[in-house]
């Protein structure tokens, strides 16, 4: 598979958006003739998400792979399952997306167009020219802005938006890594290992919106800040 892409989408109790998300992504893949498949991880959903994914499998056998956790394990655990499946299936890239369409599927071709032999990780950025953050609560904007300013300085890999989960990663750069995090901090754990493996980075501007039809599973608490901050410190100790 040359530049084939596994689009990894964790889902937990997403019955309100699951069908809409998969339809939107597949339509973009078809329209742009992109060599990609969705790997959707049903992370122990208690609602109708599992049944909806079964229906989507019948509809999109060519485009969809579903992995299931019997119990909810968290975003990081679902991401690890998706990565393992992508590597085992021979995909060249992993594109990580949220299921709530706050990551616009229309940006998928922009990631594809940014692929080159000189890039190992492409990050969507909220802090570039032409980027926008729409309808996000002020306190979340401030926390994210300050956190990413510090992360950008300490990671020192040439990107401004370190915590953004909308990203495309070359699978060769993450093979053999035993990721430990089961929550959202896997995003910075991955960035830490990419820096350690001398990955080359690029950013593309994008517009972030908020969920409309479902509830976010991300909550700010002391553990989240600790889990994020430890990778900032560890990364700062890597000299490239």
User: Are the CB atoms for 238 and 195 separated by under 8 Å?
Assistant: yes
| CA distances from residue 70 to 45, 87, 133 in whole angstroms, order as listed | 8, 22, 35
CA 186/CA 42 separation, integer angstroms: 18
Query: Could you give the domains of the chain?
Result: 5-236 (3.90.550.10)
Q: At what angle do helices 222-236 and 138-155 cross, to 10 degrees?
A: 20
Under-70 pLDDT residues of the chain: 1-2, 211-220, 240
pTM to 2 decimals?
0.92
How is the beta sheet containing 36-43 ordered, strand by strand? Answer: 64-69, 36-43, 5-11, 93-96, 167-170, 121-125, 201-205
CA 133/CA 137 separation, integer angstroms: 10
pLDDT of residue 240: 62
Instruction: Name the 3-class secondary structure at 123.
Output: strand
pLDDT of residue 153: 95
Run of H or E including 78: helix 75-88
pLDDT of residue 77: 98
Assigned token pair, 136? 């996000």
* pLDDT single digits (tens) 58-70: 999 999 999 999 9
User: Are the CB atoms for 44 and 70 separated by under 8 Å?
Assistant: yes
pLDDT of residue 47: 97
pLDDT of residue 38: 98
């Amino acid at each position: 598979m040359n530049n084939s892409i596994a689009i990894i989408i964790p889902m937990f109790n997403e019955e309100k958006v699951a069908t809409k998300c998969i339809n939107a992504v597949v339509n973009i893949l078809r329209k742009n003739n992109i060599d990609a498949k969705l790997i959707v991880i049903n992370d122990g959903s208690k609602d109708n998400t599992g049944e909806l994914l079964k229906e989507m499998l019948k509809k999109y056998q060519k485009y969809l792979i579903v992995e299931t956790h019997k119990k909810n394990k968290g975003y990081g655990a679902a991401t690890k399952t998706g990565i393992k499946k992508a590597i085992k299936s021979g995909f060249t890239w992993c594109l990580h997306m949220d299921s709530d369409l706050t990551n616009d599927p229309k940006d998928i071709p922009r990631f594809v167009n940014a692929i080159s032999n000189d890039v190992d990780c492409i990050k969507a950025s909220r802090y570039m020219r032409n980027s926008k953050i729409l309808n996000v609560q002020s306190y979340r904007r401030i926390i994210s802005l300050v956190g990413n300013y510090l992360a950008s300085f300490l990671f020192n890999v040439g990107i401004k938006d370190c915590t953004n989960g909308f990203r495309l990663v070359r699978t060769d750069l993450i093979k053999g890594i035993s990721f430990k995090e089961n929550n959202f901090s896997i995003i910075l754990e991955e960035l830490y290992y990419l820096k350690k493996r001398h990955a080359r980075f690029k950013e593309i501007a994008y517009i972030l919106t908020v969920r409309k039809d479902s509830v976010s599973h991300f909550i700010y608490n002391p553990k989240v800040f600790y889990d994020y901050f430890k990778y900032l410190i560890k990364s700062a100790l890597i000299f490239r």
